[in-house]
Amino acid sequence: MGGRASGPPPLSGQIGRIWRALGSLFVLLVFVPPLLLLVSGSLTEPGLPPSPTPQLIPDPVSTAGYRQALAVGGVLRAALNSLLVAVVAVPLSVLVAALAGFALARLAPRRAALVVMASLVALMVPATALLVPRFAIFRVLGLTDTLVPLIAPALLGTSPLYVLVYYLAFRALPRDLYDACLVEDMTPMGIWWRVALPMVRPVTAAITALTFVFTWSNFLDPLIYVYDRDLFTLPLALRSLSVLDPTNFPVFLAGAVLATGPAVLVFGLAQRRFFHHDDQTGRNRP
């Protein structure tokens, strides 16, 4: 007699969830204490000498550091500039990387191997080696002192690594799935959008989080291309805070909290997507 087996997920799936939970616990133990000290330091009264020992709850608690960071350091305007860059660059980068990875997965094996090798070579090129030619190109185009050079890398998927990750994800999908789509007379774009992309949602969540953090914390590119203070991004605003008054650490820490919060939120949402996908996989497994 044949039939579909039912019951709890295999032991390997349970072990995988345990390891992921342990990994999350390790990350919490490593990163949460510094974040708590960061928040605690930002709530210290500006102008007071630093405490000789770390204090989880400062005495007195003050939000003056946040007010000074927003007023003096221009953190609010810088945050809006960083948000504008991220809102445009992150979806565009994920879209380009997903399209390129899908196209690479559908190539013949030999051609795909050549493209993968070229991508690995591109990953080995130091980013600093490209600063001068990139600056020359943007200067000739008249795009320096604008936010365009900060968004332009998204047109190439930001990094070849993201394309390779999508390539491996799309390649891992069953070949019969693609054959069934061709039988249904679906176009390549339809296969990518309606079938392949929804099946690699955890990869999309990971790439989105990594791209956002890279874009949000990018310091070198704004330092090279942006000169107008009204166009400063958050990393440049934090640098300005440290230069203006290096001894008034609560103001600088307040700006650091405002800059760190969105990145932590994005990583939390991405982690939730991982566990949600894992739970769905466990429930749907026969």
What integer pLDDT is reported at residue 99 of this predicted model? 94
Amino acid at 19: W
Q: For the whole model, what pTM was predicted?
A: 0.81
Q: Decide which of 213 and 273 is more confident.
A: 213
Report which listed range, 34-38, 56-60, 222-226, is most confident.
222-226
Report, as an integer, the average pLDDT of 100-109.
91
What integer pLDDT is reported at residue 22 of this predicted model? 76
What integer pLDDT is reported at residue 273 of this predicted model? 64
Residue 107: pLDDT above 50?
A: yes
Strand partners, 61: 44
What integer pLDDT is reported at residue 2 of this predicted model? 43
Q: What is the pLDDT of residues 143-192, one digit of tens each?
A: 999 999 999 999 988 889 999 999 999 999 988 888 888 888 888 898 99
| Both tokens assigned to 65 | 């550091």
What integer pLDDT is reported at residue 141 of this predicted model? 92
Q: What is the pLDDT of residues 193-203, one digit of tens each?
A: 999 999 998 89
Report, as an integer, the average pLDDT of 243-264.
80
Q: Give the Å distances, CA to CA, from 1 to 4, 106, 262, 268.
A: 10, 39, 55, 46
Contacts of 136 (CB under 8 A, 6+ apart): none
Q: Give the Å distances, CA to CA, from 275 to 16, 170, 209, 212.
A: 11, 20, 15, 20
Strand partners, 160: none
